[in-house]
């Protein structure tokens, strides 16, 4: 696997089930970074993620006998749906072991493709171990999410499409969990043009590949902690690791807070929903110390449940100072609340929540506390509102926002 011939074969094979995800040029991020930034929108792919490519190609390489035994995998979401969809296309039985913590929408979507779902364990590692047990017990063929050269070859078809559409691409940014996507993309990119820089991007709280590359061997992290659940992997793939050592030019890590802001940027400027793992390459754009280059960020998926989406939007607005909360002390007299509200309205602040605590002090005539949560246009506007309140003697104090 992982030869030009196999990549070309995979590119033709996956066309049977994939959608054409043309590059999208980003004015917003190009101006922000000083580069020509493009997105490869695999969040718009069938099943909502790139994983369908590797799963379908892997299954295409199996014998009729292997497919007839039934297929099994472990996944918390995207790979599960990719295998389920691909198995259905081949008329094969699929069993997907998912952690019990998997959001209901991902479970139901996987079932909708005809797969049998088994919920087991709290994390991926538990589910994976159980999937291997079931494979041994029933003779199922196991489809690994990332540590399989055939799967990686299927994922690498993304690079084929990028280079065909943008032959002079300088940088490709690719998310990393276990390393299957990065292996395929970096290997093919280097085969086609060794001058292309391929940069892997990991969550700072799950940087298993960065640690492994630094140590020169596959290394398991003791724990992982990130909102990018699709890339929350403790150990990179052993079979794909040598390819990553050879073909990746660098690894960038980003903090979860950066992903939250990137989600808002994508929604507001591109009207696209991208899951946290897919946002890694968006957040990494500002970490690239280059100018005037053609950069492609691979948006690996868009499968985010609505509750998570709502939380990310709220946190993003708070981080951008679009929502903030202040505490002011007022005499307990009629009309004081109206005065403060009027002053905020004059500065075009929009109050969304008030908490009036008359029991802040035993001397209510001296002070009661008013907590005000409001919307602003951003940091500059927030500071303007605070300054105007200061001028009127209110002495506002910023406090934690709880929506």
Tens-digit pLDDT profile for residues 63-90: 999 999 999 999 878 999 999 999 999 9
As a whole number, mean pLDDT of residues 379-402 equals 93
Tens-digit pLDDT profile for residues 136-158? 999 999 999 999 999 999 999 99
Do 89 and 234 reside in the same domain of the chain? no
Same domain, 162 and 109: no
Q: How far apart are CA 391 and CA 224, in angstroms?
A: 47
Last residue of a domain, one of 286, 316, 346: 316
* Residues 96 and 110: beta-carbon distance below 8 Å: yes
Structural domain range at position 82: 51-142
Of 11, 186, 262, 300, the catalytic one is 300
| One domain for residues 44 and 55 | no
What is the mean predicted confidence (pLDDT) over 330-342?
87
* Same-domain status, 12 and 84: no
- Give the number of other Cβ atoms within 10 Å of residue 30's Cβ: 16
- The reply to whether 305 and 199 lie within a common domain is yes
CATH of the domain at 58: 3.40.50.1100
Same structural domain for residues 154 and 138? no
Is there a single domain that holds both residue 284 and residue 335?
no
Q: Is 234 a catalytic residue?
A: no
Q: Measure the CA–CA gap between 403 and 393, rounded to whole angstroms.
A: 27
Highest mean pLDDT among 72-76, 106-110, 173-177: 173-177
Same domain, 228 and 258: yes
Cα distances from 267 to residues 129, 195, 311, 393, 402, in angstroms, run 37, 33, 14, 39, 23
Same-domain check for residues 174 and 256: yes
Domain end among 120, 142, 164: 142
Residue with tokens 């929604």: 267
C-alpha span between 124 and 101 (Å, rounded): 10
Q: Does residue 369 have a pLDDT over 80?
A: yes
pLDDT for 259-306, tens place per residue? 999 999 999 999 999 999 999 999 999 999 999 999 999 999 999 888
pLDDT averaged over every residue in the chain: 93
Domain shared by 298 and 202, yes or no: yes
Each residue of 201-239: pLDDT tens digit? Answer: 999 999 999 999 999 999 999 999 999 988 988 899 999
Dump pLDDT digits (tens) for 21-50. 999 999 999 999 999 999 999 999 999 999
- pLDDT classification of 362: cutoffs 50, 70, 90: low
- 93 is annotated as an active-site residue: no
Query: Which has the closest alpha carbon to 184: 118, 103, 243?
Result: 243
Given the residues 51, 106, 371, 382, the one annotated as active site: 51
- Do 40 and 61 share a domain, yes or no? no
Which stretches of 235-378 are DSSP H helices? Answer: 241-247, 256-270, 280-283, 306-319, 336-346
Q: Which of 142, 173, 195 is the last residue of a domain?
A: 142
Tens-digit pLDDT profile for residues 180-205? 999 999 999 999 999 999 999 999 99
289 with 392, same domain: the answer is no
Number of helices and strands in the chain (H, E): 17, 14
Structural domain total, the chain: 3
| Whether pLDDT at 360 is above 80 | no
What does the block give as tokens for 62? Answer: 């199996």
């Amino acid at each position: 696997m992982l030869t030009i011939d196999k990549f070309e074969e995979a590119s033709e094979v996956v066309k049977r089930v994939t959608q054409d995800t043309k590059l999208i040029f980003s004015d917003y991020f190009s101006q922000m970074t000083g580069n020509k930034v493009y997105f490869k929108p695999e969040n718009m792919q069938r099943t909502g993620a790139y994983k369908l490519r590797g799963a379908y190609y892997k299954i295409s390489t199996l014998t009729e006998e292997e497919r007839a035994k039934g297929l099994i995998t472990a996944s918390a979401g995207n790979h599960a749906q990719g295998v389920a969809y691909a198995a259905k296309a081949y008329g094969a039985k699929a069993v997907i072991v998912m952690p019990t913590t998997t959001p209901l929408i991902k479970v139901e979507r996987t079932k909708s493709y005809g797969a049998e779902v088994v919920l087991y364990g709290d994390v991926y590692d538990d589910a994976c171990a159980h999937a291997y047990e079931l494979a041994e017990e029933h003779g199922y063929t196991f489809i690994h999410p990332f540590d399989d050269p055939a799967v990686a070859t299927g994922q690498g078809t993304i690079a084929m499409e990028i280079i065909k559409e943008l032959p002079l691409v300088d940088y490709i940014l690719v998310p990393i969990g276990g390393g299957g996507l990065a292996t395929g993309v970096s290997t093919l990119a280097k085969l086609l043009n060794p001058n292309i820089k391929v940069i892997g991007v990991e969550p700072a709280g799950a940087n298993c590949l960065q640690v492994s590359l630094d140590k020169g061997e596959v290394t398991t992290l003791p724990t992982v902690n990130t909102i990018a659940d699709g890339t929350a992997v403790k150990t990179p793939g052993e079979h794909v690791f040598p390819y990553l050592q050879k073909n990746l030019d660098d690894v960038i890590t980003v903090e979860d807070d950066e992903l939250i802001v990137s989600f808002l940027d994508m929604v507001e400027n591109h009207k696209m929903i991208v899951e946290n793992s897919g946002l890694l390459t968006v957040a990494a754009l500002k970490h690239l110390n280059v100018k005037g280059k053609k950069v492609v960020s691979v948006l690996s998926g868009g499968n985010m449940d609505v509750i998570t989406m709502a939380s990310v939007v709220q946190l993003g607005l708070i981080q951008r100072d679009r929502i903030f909360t202040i505490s002011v002390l007022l005499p307990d007299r009629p009309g004081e609340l109206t005065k403060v509200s009027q002053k905020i309205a004059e500065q075009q602040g929009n109050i969304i929540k008030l908490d009036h605590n008359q029991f802040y002090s035993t001397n209510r005539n001296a002070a009661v506390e008013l907590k005000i949560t409001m919307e602003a246009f951003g940091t500059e506007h927030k500071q303007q509102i605070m300054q105007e309140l200061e001028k009127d003697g209110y002495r506002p104090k910023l406090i934690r926002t709880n929506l």
